[in-house]
Amino acid sequence: HNMSSTGGSEDAGRDLCLRLTSRRVPENAAQKDRTGLPFGVTVQPFKPLPHFPVDASALLDPADEVARCGDCFGYVNGFCGLERDGWVCILCGNFSYWSSDPAGDGGKPRYKRNARRNELPEIALPEYEIEVAREVLTVNPREPLGTAPVYVALIDTTAPEETLELVRSAVLAAIEAVGPDALFGIVTFADRIGLFDVQAAAPSVRRVGLGKDGGLAMPLEEALPLRRLLAPVGAFKEELAAAVETIAPAKSRFGSAGFSRLGVDDGMIDGGDGPVGRRAFGPALEATLAWLGADAVEGRGGGRG
Ligand SMILES: [Zn+2]
């Protein structure tokens, strides 16, 4: 199924931050471009699977031992045509030869001339979970910027209080979940962008307005240096949480109710320049990414969102 905060023109749920739709979202490339959002897809069968969810701490077999189709890169499974020298992909019909390379520490190929090939989990089990990649980070506590994982919450304060309440809970849970070594930054946007300085003796919010051309009045780095925005979670968890609790709906000239509907009026995605004012989503996202990216290319490297 598709999940979208923008699809559909029905009034029901117009102020929800998450809506389900059976329509195609985005409907075309032009609409996708107008959203300015990176789209991703998660596919999961509706039927509950007996082995899932698996224990997240369990050590999974590495994916690189499991044979993949030479044409479509599908993984081998029990539905494929298994032959002496190779296999026929159930997804695309391509024939791939079994590799002669030894697998793991066993010294023998995993599939080739393996009399017990049909007992391999990827072939015997209806579902099988493997580890595609594992990321190992080494954080330098004295120079966390560039070595620690970076998370930035970009919060739309044109939303009504009910929605912001959900967002605050989600951000608090995220701060809890990312771990003490991570760096966390809080950025809000409505018709201005707010940068939270939680590391100062007296935490404050720096606000950057929009210029006449719709861009930012000043670069974010000038308003607040990146290393001040990105707080180490281990040392500043309480300050971060306190800052999140202060986030309230932005006021507009026409009251928060009208402001909250910016961007979804008429079911259009590209609202925000309508008669009720401006919402700086595009400039906020663009400036924040440029800010994080600029730091990464300045040689510290590795900064990620
Ligand atoms: Zn294939």
Give me the CATH number covering residue 94. 2.30.30
Are residue 255 and residue 187 in the same domain, yes or no? yes
Q: Give the distance (Å) from ligand 1 centre to CA of residue 51.
A: 25
Is the backbone of residue 44 left (phi > 0), alpha (psi -120 to 50) or beta? beta
Task: Answer yes or no: do 162 and 262 share one domain.
Answer: yes
| 205 and 106 together in one domain | no
Whether residues 147 and 117 fall in one domain: no
Q: Which of 81, 97, 130 is the last residue of a domain?
A: 130
100/176 same-domain check: no
Residue 37 lies in a domain: no
Residues 6 or more apart in contact with residue 192 via CB below 8 angstroms:
207, 208, 209, 210, 280
CATH code of residue 214: 3.40.50.410
Residues 274 and 195 in one domain: yes
122 and 144 belong to one structural domain? no
Could you tell me if the ipTM is greater than 0.95? yes
Spacing, Cα 110 to ligand 1 middle (Å): 19
Task: Give me the pLDDT at residue 67, please.
Answer: 95
Question: How far away, in angstroms, is 1 Cα from ligand 1 center?
Answer: 24
Distance 76 CA to ligand 1 centre (A): 9
List CB contacts of 19: < 8 A, sequence separation 6 or more.
3, 4, 5, 7, 8, 13
What is the CA(247)–ligand 1 centre distance, in A? Answer: 50
Same domain, 288 and 143: yes
Q: At residue 25, does pLDDT exceed 90?
A: no
CA of 97 to the centre of ligand 1 (A): 12
The answer to whether 112 and 102 have CB atoms below 8 angstroms apart is no
Query: What confidence tier does 95 reach under pLDDT thresholds 50, 70, 90?
Result: very high
Residue 222 sits in the same domain as residue 97: no
Between the two ends of the chain, the Cα-to-Cα distance in Å is 26
Distance 120 CA to ligand 1 centre (A): 19
CA of 117 to the centre of ligand 1 (A): 19
Please tell me the distance between residue 217's alpha carbon and the centre of ligand 1 in angstroms: 52
pLDDT of amino acid 213:
76
pLDDT of residue 282: 79
CA angle 71, 75, 76 (to 5 degrees): 100
Higher pLDDT, 228 or 18: 228
71 alpha carbon – ligand 1 mean position (Å): 5
According to the model, what pLDDT value does residue 44 have? 67
Asked if residue 155 lies in contact with residue 187, where contact means CB atoms within 8 angstroms, the answer is: yes
Find tokens 């800010």 and name the residue: 291
Q: What is the pLDDT of residue 17?
A: 65
Looking at per-residue confidence, does 34 or 274 come out higher? 34
Look at the chain and report how many structural domains it folds into. Answer: 2
Range name among 31-45, 109-123, 281-295 with the lowest pLDDT average: 31-45
| Cα 77 to ligand 1 centroid, rounded to whole Å | 11
pLDDT for res 271: 36
57 φ, ψ (degrees, to nearest 5): -90, -5
Distance 87 CA to ligand 1 centre (A): 10
Domain membership of residue 122 as a residue range: 61-130
**Residues 102 and 203 occupy one common structural domain:** no
The pLDDT of residue 129 is 82
Asked whether 46 and 29 are in contact (CB, 8 A), the reply is no
Q: How far is the CA of 81 from the centre of ligand 1 (A)?
A: 11
Residue carrying the six token digits 């995220």: 174
273 with 235, same domain?
Answer: yes
Give helix then strand counts, H and E, for the chain.
8, 10
CA of 32 to the centre of ligand 1 (A): 29
| Ligand 1 geometric centre to CA of 91 (Å) | 5
Tell me how far apart the alpha carbons of residues 141 and 122 are, in angstroms, rounded to a whole number. Answer: 41
